[in-house]
Amino acid sequence: MTSTKRDAIRAQRTKKKRQQRMNTLLWVGGFIVLLIVILALPTIYAALKPAGDFVTITPVAYPLVDGMAIGNPDAPVKIEVYEDFQCPACKGYTESIEKPLLISSYITDGQVNYTFRQYPFLDSQSITKESQQAANASMCALEQDRFWDYHNILFVNQGAVENGGSYNDKRLQAFAESLGLDMAAFNDCFKANKYSTEIDADYQLGRAAGIDRTPSILINGVNNFQTYLPTYEELTAAIDAALAAGG
């Protein structure tokens, strides 16, 4: 075999290998793009899905509102409640204990200072992150001094299924609009996830306190309850004991 023929065969083999490598790269690249698209679909869907129907609320007055805290800042008893807006037990607690009983019995008269803490953990295995986005939106409402109204509209419209679309972007924005918030400011805040650091600070504070479920209720920094959702009688007994001990 002449050297010219050997060179031609070698060149052909080199070209074939180069083509095979190129085909492999194209296949791998196409697979990666497809995987990215598949992973991004839930997020894209959440951003584009319409708000649909939802329950509106009539805002109510809260005593001595200071951001996510209500009540006398010098009260002898301090209560912190760690909640996830997707948590069904948090919704039940808010509607059956917090609003109708705690506020009227202890907060309005100055005995208790009450603080909501963000603990969005139910979407840790989800791509759409509706707990995190609901927390994000509530903080943007807080920026306009409307945290508690937004807190209420979130719980009223909580979905039956976690990360099922009840807190998709369009709905969270529609909730804000229904409350009459400045939508330009809200949308800028919401899209920038402006308060992620503050939300994470609450979450880490909860982890340091041993919080692993919601709602978790701390009275003067102590979680006295064996169950994640104490009865009103158990809660009032703990509050009364703290008051009797002088806070």
DSSP letter assigned to residue 65: -
112-118 and 77-83 strand pairing: parallel
The per-residue pLDDT for 205 is 97
82-105, pLDDT tens digit by residue? Answer: 999 999 999 999 999 999 999 999
pLDDT exceeds 70 at position 115: yes
Q: Which structure tokens are listed for 82?
A: 């760690």
| Eight-state DSSP code of residue 146 | -
Strand segments, DSSP code E, in the chain are 69-70, 77-83, 112-118, 216-219
What is the mean predicted confidence (pLDDT) over 157-163? Answer: 95
Over 90: is that where the pLDDT of 211 sits? yes
Q: Please write down the long-range contacts of 150-156, taking CB distance under 8 Å and 24 or more positions apart.
A: 150/175, 150/176, 150/179, 151/85, 151/94, 151/116, 152/57, 152/59, 152/60, 152/94, 152/99, 153/55, 153/56, 153/57, 153/178, 153/179, 154/85, 155/85, 155/90, 155/91, 155/94, 155/95, 156/55, 156/57
Q: What confidence category does residue 5 fall into, taking pLDDT thresholds of 50, 70 and 90?
A: low
pTM, 2 dp: 0.80
Angle at 57 between CA 53 and CA 63, to 5 degrees: 155
**Do residues 115 and 217 make contact, with C-beta atoms less than 8 angstroms apart?**
no
34 pLDDT more than 60: no
Average pLDDT of the residues of the chain: 88
What is the Cα–Cα distance from 175 to 162, expressed in whole angstroms?
Answer: 18
Predicted pLDDT at 124: 87
Contacts of 237 (CB under 8 A, 6+ apart): none
Q: Write the pLDDT tens digit of every residue in 48-80.
A: 666 789 999 999 999 999 999 999 999 999 999
Does residue 158 contact residue 88 with C-beta atoms inside 8 Å? yes
User: For residue 3, is pLDDT > 90?
Assistant: no
